[in-house]
Every structure is written in structure tokens, then in C-alpha cells.
Amino acid sequence: MKWLWLVFLALLGSPALAHSVAVDMDVFLRAGRLIVLMGGPGGQPLNNAKLEYVLFNEGGQTYRSPLPQVADGEYGAQAPKAAAGTYTLLLRDTTFQGEALEAQAVIAYPPSKPLRLTLPPSKVGAPDATLLIALTVAPVGLSLLVLVFILVSRPKPRALEAQVLEVKPLEESR
């Protein structure tokens, strides 16, 4: 039983190795800057990400820049001085070591309205289904085993012996 608790605590206390859920990113231009707002499943801002953008077209023009965090859930950099046209915008998140999640879309540049891109959940560091099943089934199985052991090893109740009590009449006192 100790080993099960140790495994559980180790998994609980380990750092996240990857994105476990999809991440929404709203992209737009504001005052000559390319802005990306990152939000989690509940819309809460996501901070401390390592983002970069790559903007390229079929003609071979490529613009690339890191997107440092400038506010809560907001990342931004100088917008590229690219000629108007059709480009592919790629956003890459390299926050977690060993993975680079990407979301991309073909856009008309410069964009006239906000664009939403979604980073998919990562497969790197995702929990193994076998491990999750073992962590779920083991405590249930162990509990049933303990219950059976308790019921089997319980002492059997002794039969009550019948006792005959002799009843004597009370003498009347005068």
C-alpha cells in the first residue's frame, strides 16, 4: 500500500511535462504590433509561455520573431513590414522542453480582424492509459481484498448456553 501512495504523490508533485489541454490564441494587430492573447479552457490568461511567430508566403518571404510576454496572458512583438498579400501565420510554443506545439492558418496580411488559432494538446508527457487504469483499479481491488480478509478471519460467535435459573418464592414477612 505504501508504494501506491508513493507513486501517487510522485505523480501529483511532478512538474507538467507538456500541455494537457488545447490552448486558444487570439491574434491581431494593434499600433504596429502583432499581439497574441493566450487563454486556457476556462478563458483564464496563460502566462510564462515561450512563443514565436513565423509569417511566410509562397514567394519565399519569411518573417520570424519571438513573442515576449507584455501583460497578463498577452504576448507581442513588432509586426513585420511585409507587403499586403496571402501569408501563412505559424505560432510556435516551445514552453516545455522536448516539444514544440504549432498552430497555423493562411491569412490575408495585414489582418483586418482578430484571428483565433488553437494549439492542440501535446502527446509528449501525457499519462499512459495503463498507468491510469492501474492507479484506479489497484485501490479498489485492495479494498475488496481487505474486506474479504476481515470477513473470513472474524471469530465465529459462540452459541449462547441456556442457563436455568431457579426461582424461589418469596416468603411473606409479617
Q: State the pLDDT at residue 7.
A: 52
pLDDT tens digits, one per residue of 25-63 = 999 999 999 999 998 878 889 999 999 999 999 999 999
Homologous superfamily of domain range 19-119: Domain of unknown function DUF4426 (2.60.40.3340)
Q: Are 31 and 110 in contact (CB under 8 A)?
A: no
pLDDT tens digits, one per residue of 94-149 = 988 878 889 999 999 999 899 999 988 877 655 566 766 766 777 777 788 887 87
Among the listed residues 49, 32, 28, 51, the one whose alpha carbon sits nearest the alpha carbon of residue 40? 49
Q: Give residue limits of the domains in the chain.
A: 1-17+125-150, 19-119
